[in-house]
Chains A and B, each alone.
Chain A
Amino acid sequence: MRGKAYRGLRDGQLVELVAQKDAGALEALYDRYGRASYSLARRILTEETLAQEVVQEVFLSLWRDARRFDAGRGTVATYLLSMTNHRAVDVVRREENLRRWRTSDEGLELEPDPKARVEDEVEAGERRAEVRAALGELPAAQREALLLAYFGGYTQREVAALVGVPLGTVKTRMAAGMRKMKQALQDAGTEELPWTRQ
């Protein structure tokens, strides 16, 4: 474990230190979110090298301009993981051969994960269970639309073509799916969720 001196600091405080070019603060944030970021990048890109490049760029982006992070817009976790998603999607859109996930809940294992690590259980494990449960409760068509966009990097028009429905239907499905996800995660109601945390 790295960065013991930073353990007691909140994410926002660490970002302020990163803005002052404190390498230890960036390392502490990497300890907190590097694994989630890498897991997401690997899921989207499948190739280890590309996933590493994306995660590296995410954390270097924070390093280069930590002032871009706006605490009023969301948590540090949301910022880093959203950036991971966007950058990985950018890559996958350029490299069509990576898009092997025709149905994007393939390999996602929406049932509880029996192999979660002990240290992962406490927070990330609970959060994972909540997110999976929320996804699992979505109508299949809405889930498919969300996951094709999120993990496959498909645009709404591409999703429409893949699924064989009109573009307007995809827009409606994505909107409904995201609305339900938001509600389900709010109903899960823990203080760990981004909209209730600092």
Chain B
Amino acid sequence: MDTPMSHSEYEELAAGYVLGALEPDDEHVFQRHLGGCAICEANVRELEAVVGELAYAVPPVDPPDTLWAGIRREIRPEAVRRGALPAVAPGAEAGGRGLRLLPGLVAAAAILLVVVLSLWNLNLRDQNAVYRARVAALERATQLANDPNASLITLASQPGGSPEAQATVIASTPKDRGVLLVENLPPLQRGRVYELWGVPGGTFADAQKALVFVPLRRQGVTTLEFEVPIQPGTVFAITDEPGPDGSPKPTTNPLLVGKPTTA
């Protein structure tokens, strides 16, 4: 629901925004405004610095040595200066792509968790904050899709896109609705938005707008609902479009594209 807001109302939302205290609706409204408002952008930048400073109000506590040891263990496989790091066993990597969900919402949820967590290179043995965040997002997405036969479609980064970006669509054909899960999408230029498209048969000239969004500033998985005609074979794609309302048809090359797997 788009209710016109005065600029002073947007300015008031800025404090809650940088504190991560806005309700989701307010956060999306503010973020869309933020993309095209230099005044609020500058204000947010200054308030974010205040938020960073608030950390120093806390009495200091020394971290245990095991904390850095855990970080070191995780980064070692990629580290350029491996010689400076003691030998530790790298974490197990999980793999696998694509799935048609089994009937039954509980089973669907469980499989979703396993598949998407593995797609997102999560070490399943790490019961950490990211794990819990992703589980919570997937549980919510599964409830939102409300279709045990929904398809799970992983969107792959295209040339020019960010390799860190992760996107998955849970699509319900009979309901013509779905849920988009995104993480690590790169920040947009001012005045730009991301747009999700449903592409019948993979023909981009026929692409239909499913969702306009901007990545939340908060780290972690973002869950977004959308409605668009979905047929067997509908491809999903994300492009970078002019804000705040996106484009009626894609005007840039897709950054992420996902095709449904065949049963």
Contact = CB atoms under 8 A, between A and B. Distances in A.
Nearest to B121: A64
Contacts of B81: 22-24
Nearest to B63: A38
Contacts of A53: 128-129
A128 B220 contact: no
Interface residues of A, number: 89
Given A36-B55, A195-B49, A26 B75 contact: yes
A74 interface: yes
Interface in A72-100: 73-75, 77-79, 81-87, 89-91, 94
A79 to B, nearest CB: 8
Given A171-B12, A175-B11, A154 B132 contact: no
Given A54-B129, A60-B74, A171 B19 contact: no
Interface stretch (B64-72, B97-105, B246-254): B64-72
Contacts of B159: none
A124 B58 contact: no
Contacts of B51: 78, 81-82, 85, 150
Contact of A127 (B53, B70, B219): B53
B71 A90 contact: no
A77 B87 CA distance: 30
Contact of A194 (B11, B49, B133): B49
Nearest to A30: B68
Contact of B16 (A43, A82, A156): A156
Contacts of A54: 129
A146 interface: yes
A174 to B, nearest CB: 4
Interface string A28-64: 0010001111111011000010101111110111011
Nearest to B76: A23
Secondary structure at chain A's binding surface: helix, strand, loop or mixed? helix
A8 B16 CA distance: 37
Interface string B36-64: 00000000011111111111111111111
Interface in A150-198: 150, 153-157, 159, 171-172, 174-175, 177-179, 181-182, 185, 193-195
Contacts of B70: 52, 56
B141 interface: no
Given A34-B68, A74-B52, A155-B23, A117 B18 contact: no
Contacts of B18: 178
Nearest to B218: A86
A192 B11 CA distance: 27
Given A74-B45, A74-B49, A182-B47, A120 B60 contact: yes
A56 B128 contact: yes
B56 A128 contact: yes
A48 to B, nearest CB: 7
B79 interface: yes
Contact of B59 (A75, A113, A150, A171): A113
Contacts of B71: 26, 30, 56, 59-60, 63
Contact of A23 (B12, B15, B80, B186): B80
A182 B46 contact: yes
A60 B86 CA distance: 18
Given A155-B22, A193-B53, A124 B67 contact: no
13 contacts: A22-B79, A40-B55, A61-B219, A63-B78, A74-B48, A75-B49, A78-B52, A82-B51, A124-B56, A130-B53, A174-B16, A185-B50, A193-B49
* 10 closest Cβ pairs, A-B complex: A78-B52, A23-B79, A38-B63, A149-B21, A194-B49, A178-B15, A81-B55, A53-B128, A175-B15, A174-B15
